[in-house]
Chain A
Amino acid sequence: MTLSRRDLLRTATSSAALATVAPGLKVAFAADGVAKDVLVVLYLRFGSDGLQMIAPAGDANYISNRPTIRVRTDGNTPGLGVSTLQGTDFYLNPVATDLKTLFDQKKLAIVHAAGLRSIERSHFVCQEQMELGANENEKVTSDGWLSRHVNALEGKRSGLSTVALSSNNPESLLGYSGAVAIANTSSFAVSGGDPNANIIRALNGGKSGYETTAVETLNSISSVQTGLRNLAVDSTNYGYPGGGLTTSLRSLISLMKMNVGIEVAHIDMGGWDHHNNLVAEFGARATELSRNLGAFTRELAGNNFNNTTLVTMTEFGRRFRENGSQGTDHGSGGYMFVLGNNVNGGKMYGVWPGLAANQLFNGDLDVTTDYRTVLGEILAKRQGAKRLDKVFPTTKYAPLGIVNGDDAGVIGGSSST
């Protein structure tokens, strides 16, 4: 698959020019003056179990199909009641206490039975479909949905407007050559500094993929190094648990503080593939996610970053029925969290399909809200995107009211069915 690598990267000098906003007012403006949130896409890799994260704990079908691993309404560690959807009561996993707080503070919205409606149950096939923005019946394109979104936005972008907080770019950013992968801002530098960096630049003046990436790397390093030098150290304890997700979120906040023009950030969190021993292993991941999102929200508030919207996605939920190893295999319907000050939180969205045999899809939770419906609304209302037909050509624009914002003039895709 060959992609043209248009070099959209701007140099360090023009990204510094974006730092003209008044101190304390940390909002990036789009070309036409519309307020734009920093969009954070948090991909939960390998099938996060929605029925364990937001459990219909009192539902008879749920109880009989997950006899040993289910979330309970009673006992020593009952689920944390959040809301009711079409008559079914839902409970957050008992470990997700920060998420419960965020829900009660109306910053967190939950979309259940959301995701990719597909007969496929393969991580790799489904991740690819989701990251390229397709569904099961559509031909996959060679570019990612986030790339199409960034390419469709108007206005000049800074060199660090689109960042993946990992060592490598995700598939959703395939096709946008300006995407920069930074795993950790505090160790983002060439050993030996500028003398070595300059020689590396001279050795890589050509047009091959490696050379183009080399130059982008050196330019990004230069921007980040300059930015870091001007940042004060923040030793506040926000309650981060440590680990990879903490590193990613804190690196993101450093970049936001540097005012380098971040608009879109992508973060990966792995480890959700719980084929066995789900209660303990899912519990550990859910705790990590919950504590990190709580700490992240506190650090954003502590820095007056009031305009950030974070959305989670996962390629599928897990099998409705537990397997013989106290785990769950790959399923269908998943969930999405949407988190931020501009979110109509404290509510659940979507249509609960139910768990009776005739309500299931191939034996699993059905998908009643296409993930692109949720993403499209966020792109339109919080990122000023107008041409959603270029991002999700086969998805109609149908906002659920999850976030607030102005979506006048949005052109959505047309449904293929």
Chain B
Amino acid sequence: MLPETPSPERIAINRVTFGARDSDIAKAQSLGWTGWVEDQLNPPVGDDPLTAQLLKDATLRITYGERNDSQGTWPAVDEDRPLNTLSMTGEELFKIYDDVNRTRTLPTNEINRIAEEVAAATWLRNTHSQYQLREFMVDFWHRHFNVATAEGSLVIFTLPVYDQEVMRDHALGNFTDLVNANARSTAMLFYLDNAVSRATTPNENYARELLELHTMGRDAYQGVTTPPWSGPGSAPIGTKSVGFSDQDILQASRALSGWTVGMGQRISSTRSLATSGKFVYESTYHNRNATTFLGVNLATLQPAANLENQTGAIAQGNKVIELAAQHEKTAVFVVGKIAKRIFGDDPPKAVVDAAVKTWLDNSESPEQIKLVMRTFLMSPELMQGPQTKVRRPYEKVIAFARATNSKIRPTRLVSTAFAATKDALFLWGTPNGWPDDSEYWLSTTGLMTQWNTNLTAMANGALSVTLRNESLQTNSVSALLDDWIGRIIGYQISSAGYSALRTMAAQSTGISSYLGNGTASVQTQENELRRLVALISTAREFAYR
């Protein structure tokens, strides 16, 4: 008999992973909650053995025709290729970019391939990794520092490095380090145009989003405090700023100019930048007129005109990042977002306040984010209902895959399905990332797409699984239904819903045959089982976590 309400462990685990399975709950019970939390907070550097093997064995088809004209020269390709770009260095990835854009010995398919491989690896890891909390936080940071593949090959070509060295390496580490890594990443430097910012008129895009989206947040925006073009900033030096203004954005954009990517750009008749595809500082791109930022004088950090020393030269940009990342408003904004990701639109205030305190008390600690997550994970509120967080479309598919023990097969079908749910990594066009409040995700087309994705995912091969169990020991519809509801939801659903599912199962020749009462083919039995479990996933009990 299923319990009437979800267990505390189930509630907690569903809030900080991609979906609680029976095995997760059993593990939490055997290790004890603290043991489970410590295990999740201390993942090893790489993937667990199972996930690592799945990544190694995964292949994704790539097909294109040959070409031999002024537009390019390359042979035809048609293969099921492993996810090779995941382990490539920046230089190797740059070579792909170069081959596509300069020497034209590879088609743009090979650039898009890079994004596809990172997406496929992400689906596999989110579904199968034992270290779910890390996956949860990597997902959070990717969405927080959103970049979009729609911006083109300059953003795409280093995504494997972006995913590994910015997000995975820092997911549970220090936030200032994370922002610094992000600010120097090729993907972000191109996505928000800082790489093309020039001394004459610095590009403000990255500076604005650094403050508004990545660190201090919209509520800290003070508007324009003085006309932007009329001279130095207005805040007296040493004033502790309560927020940031357009004046701060302007000064930050000056401080951060010169931070670019080495793509072989010609600087003078005798000098060009390296062709590394990596961060490099170029002094001739740097605007030297930054004055005050958040009340702190940047002008005294100005590099000397002929400075060879890279560390000294980027001091102004470093300072901007440090001040923004360590501001109080940043703690409130970012911790608040994490809390919403965990609990829903109205997270419990006591836990949020405690987590903000942990964040601020540990701004220099290499374990800052881990300690904040421990505050959330050890809070009594984590295990308490009501469950009000609406599962976003991507989460629902992954949770469905986890609950049914399905394998995600990284094919075009899966990427199309995720794109159709409108909740796919790298596809949200603007830097703020996909919204995370309930009202946005509860829309007619949204729900319809979520249902249809689960209803078709097993049939079209996006999820690979055989639901039929050869050693099934029952011939009872109720027992079968309870078993699947137990696995997917974990407690009793509404009686009207249960009744409708029971009727469907009882009237289904496939399911009756599966239970030993009929002669429908194995395929029919499997199809009907798939239909049944997909319908269970449309229930309100699966929609909320």
Contacts and interface: CB of A to CB of B under 8 A. Distances in A.
Main secondary structure of the interface of A (DSSP, over half): loop
A168 B203 contact: no
Contact of B535 (A136, A199, A209): A199
B348 interface: no
Interface stretch (A115-123, A146-154, A308-316): A115-123
Nearest to A195: B504
Contacts of A121: 208, 224, 246
A324 B218 contact: no
A125 B244 CA distance: 14
Interface stretch (B38-46, B62-70, B125-133, B437-445): B437-445
Interface residues of B, number: 58
Contact of A363 (B193, B229, B531, B538): B229
A248 B228 CA distance: 39
A25 interface: no
B446 A168 contact: yes
A213 B224 contact: no
Q: Determine which residue in A191, A195, A273, A322 has the highest number of CB atoms from chain B within 10 A of its CB, and name it.
A: A191
Interface stretch (A71-79, A214-222, A258-266): A214-222
Given A203-B501, A329-B204, A182 B496 contact: no
A329 B205 contact: yes
Interface in B419-438: 422, 429-430, 432, 438
Interface string B230-259: 000000000000000010000000000000
Given A122-B221, A191-B455, A210-B390, A204 B497 contact: yes
A211 B440 CA distance: 15
A136 B422 CA distance: 31
A208 B539 CA distance: 12
A203 B193 contact: no
Contact of B429 (A1, A120, A169, A271): A271
B138 to A, nearest CB: 24
B446 A275 contact: no
Contacts of A325: 193, 196-198, 203
A202 B496 contact: yes
B224 A181 contact: no
B499 interface: yes
B442 A213 contact: yes
A2 to B, nearest CB: 8
B445 A324 contact: no
B543 interface: yes
Contacts of B430: 46, 123, 270, 273
Contacts of A1: 345, 439
Contacts of A273: 430
Interface in A280-338: 321-325, 327, 329-330
Contacts of B205: 275, 329
Contacts of B223: 119-120, 136
Contact of B448 (A3, A190, A202, A208): A190
B451 A183 contact: no
A363 B227 contact: yes
Contacts of A216: 444
Contacts of A220: 444
Contacts of B455: 190-192, 196
Nearest to A118: B223
A206 to B, nearest CB: 6
Contacts of B61: none
B439 to A, nearest CB: 7
Interface of A: 1, 3, 46, 119-125, 136, 164, 166-169, 174, 180-184, 188-192, 195-196, 198-200, 202-206, 208-211, 213-214, 216-217, 220-221, 270-271, 273, 275-276, 321-325, 327, 329-330, 362-363
Given A119-B246, A214-B538, A322-B201, 19 more contacts: A3-B439, A121-B208, A122-B212, A125-B221, A164-B443, A167-B449, A168-B443, A181-B445, A184-B445, A196-B455, A199-B501, A200-B451, A203-B493, A203-B535, A210-B543, A324-B196, A324-B199, A327-B193, A362-B224
30 contacts: A119-B224, A119-B246, A120-B221, A120-B223, A124-B212, A164-B443, A167-B422, A167-B449, A168-B422, A169-B440, A180-B444, A190-B448, A190-B452, A191-B455, A196-B535, A203-B493, A203-B500, A203-B538, A206-B494, A206-B540, A210-B390, A210-B447, A216-B444, A271-B429, A324-B200, A325-B196, A325-B197, A325-B198, A330-B208, A362-B224
